[in-house]
């Protein structure tokens, strides 16, 4: 502590004990020692020069000194690291003038030279004329807190490293999905062309051979749908291929897609029923996104419908919106599983009726694409009585 500053505050009394006694600042020592001795934290008092005039047993135990070694012989500076005392000096003037010092982090030094972290709080005492004569300080040891903070920093560093690894693995996965899905489309396209040629000459095929050709076509459609699903998820995660909205006549659009799904429905002996209240139902959408929305809803409806039942597609036109409804007559969805419905890779307890494969991606793609084109998607289902998916589009 700067000597000039101390002198300015209290002058230079020859006997500090006599000074504080004359001013009536201290209660009798025997009573004060009870307070000091029973605090659960370190507690000491210093005179304006920083010399310790009282200290409790808790703080002495931490420091490793006897009372005789400290009281009136050592200053607060002697018990701190140099850096900590410099920090204390920066706040000392505020302690003197404002009367308190709050939550100052410091490091104390034991008799053996070890340091440990503490939090210091102090209040000032003044004489009758307002001169600063003493500081009373609590010292809270925070070794365990600092240990836990160190562990937390270490865990955060480990977590940061793991997150970096996960990011790199995810990027690698996205690259692999993109390459694999793209490369699989070419042979599938070739197989589809070959089956189309076989169908053109089906009069030369036996009934069993025609059945095989249809079976191949159904398998191609399933495989294509899986590939498109993987590519869609890949695009979603990478945030690429944002929608380009344009006017689409939903009535004509659906008629075209339903024609492609007729083969799959016939193969399972499922009827496709299409109803529209208008020849034209113009909506604002991205055709690619709209295709994936409809294909996923139709694929699911056929997949989860038993043979001999119908999948119904209905379009209703209102003044401000157009609603698309896709309904099936399968088991539907259990009430407790409804919150999971549009999650990625979610496979619910209801299974496809003919053992078809399911990636658990279709409905998550429907929800993502619907939101991106400004549509809303929802589902109503009574378990045991099928499900109806609704997509509401904005009118043009």
Question: DSSP string covering 169-219, please?
Answer: HHHHHHHHHHHHHHHHHHHHHHHHHHHHHHHHTGGGS-HHHHHHHHHHHHH
Residue 390: pLDDT over 90: yes
What pLDDT is attached to residue 29?
A: 47
Per-residue pLDDT averaged across 60-88, rounded?
91
Residue 355: pLDDT over 60: yes
Residue 284: pLDDT over 80: yes
Q: Percent of the chain scored above 90 by pLDDT?
A: 33
Residue 235: pLDDT over 90: no
3-state secondary structure of 26: coil
Residues in the chain: 396
Per-residue pLDDT averaged across 115-143, rounded?
89
Q: How confident is the model at residue 288 (pLDDT cuts 50, 70, 90)?
A: confident
273 CB neighbour count, 10 Å cutoff: 11
What pLDDT is attached to residue 260?
A: 84
CA 22 to chain centre: 64
What pLDDT is attached to residue 3?
A: 38
The DSSP 8-state label assigned to residue 277 in this structure reads S
5-9, 27-31, 161-165, 302-306: the lowest-pLDDT one? 5-9
User: Which domains are assigned to the chain?
Assistant: 3-141 (3.30.450.20), 147-241 (1.10.287), 243-396 (3.30.565.10)
pLDDT in tens, 301-314: 998 999 999 999 99
- 308 — phi, psi (to 5°)? 85, 0
Planar angle of CA 129, 102, 25, nearest 5 degrees = 30
pLDDT in tens, 240-277: 567 888 899 999 999 889 988 888 888 889 999 999 98
What pLDDT is attached to residue 297?
A: 94
**What rounded mean pLDDT belongs to the chain?**
82
Instruction: Mention every residue, 6+ apart, whose C-beta is less than 8 A from residue 137.
Output: 43, 44, 45, 46, 76, 101, 120, 121, 122
What pLDDT is attached to residue 194?
A: 82
- Burial string for 193-207 (b: 16+ CB within 10 Å, else e) reads eebeebeeeeeeeee
Q: How confident is the model at residue 190 (pLDDT cuts 50, 70, 90)?
A: confident
What pLDDT is attached to residue 249?
A: 92
Q: How confident is the model at residue 10 (pLDDT cuts 50, 70, 90)?
A: very low
pLDDT in tens, 12-45: 444 445 544 554 444 444 455 555 566 678 999 9
Q: How confident is the model at residue 238 (pLDDT cuts 50, 70, 90)?
A: low
3-state secondary structure of 238: helix
Residue 213: pLDDT over 90: no
């Amino acid at each position: 502590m700067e000597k000039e500053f101390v002198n300015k505050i209290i002058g230079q009394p020859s006997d500090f004990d006599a000074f504080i006694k004359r001013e009536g600042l201290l209660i009798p020592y025997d009573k004060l020692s009870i307070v000091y001795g029973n605090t659960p934290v370190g507690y000491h008092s210093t005179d304006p020069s920083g010399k310790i005039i009282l200290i409790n047993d808790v703080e002495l135990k931490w420091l490793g000194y006897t009372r005789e070694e400290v009281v009136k012989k050592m200053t607060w500076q002697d018990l701190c690291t140099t850096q900590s005392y410099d920090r204390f000096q920066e706040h000392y003037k505020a302690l003197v003038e404002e009367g308190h010092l709050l939550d100052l982090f410091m490091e104390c030094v034991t008799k053996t030279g070890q340091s440990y972290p503490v939090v210091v709080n102090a209040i000032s005492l003044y004489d009758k004329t307002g001169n600063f004569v003493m500081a009373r300080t609590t010292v809270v040891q925070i070794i365990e807190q600092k240990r836990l903070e160190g562990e937390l920093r270490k865990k955060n560093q480990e977590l940061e490293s793991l997150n970096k690894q996960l990011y790199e693995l995810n990027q690698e996965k996205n690259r692999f999905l993109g390459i694999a899905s793209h490369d699989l489309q070419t042979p599938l396209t070739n197989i589809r062309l070959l089956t189309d040629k076989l169908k053109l000459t089906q009069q030369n095929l036996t009934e069993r051979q025609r059945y095989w050709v249809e079976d191949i076509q159904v398998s191609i459609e399933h495989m294509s749908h899986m590939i498109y699903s993987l590519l869609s998820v890949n695009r979603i995660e990478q945030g690429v291929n944002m929608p380009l909205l344009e006017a689409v006549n939903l009535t004509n659009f659906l008629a075209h897609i339903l024609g492609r799904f007729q083969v799959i429905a016939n193969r399972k002996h499922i009827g496709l029923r299409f109803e529209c209240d208008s020849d034209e139902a113009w909506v604002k959408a991205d055709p690619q996104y709209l295709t994936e929305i409809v294909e996923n809803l139709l694929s699911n409806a056929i997949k989860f419908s038993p043979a001999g039942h119908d999948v119904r597609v209905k379009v209703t036109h209102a003044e401000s919106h157009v609603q698309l409804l896709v309904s099936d007559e399968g088991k539907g969805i259990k009430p407790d599983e409804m919150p999971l419905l549009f999650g990625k890779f979610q496979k619910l307890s209801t299974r496809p009726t003919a053992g078809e494969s399911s990636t658990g991606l279709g409905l998550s793609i429907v929800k993502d694409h619907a939101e991106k084109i400004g549509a809303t998607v929802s589902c109503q289902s009574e378990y045991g009585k099928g499900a109806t998916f609704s997509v509401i589009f904005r009118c043009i």
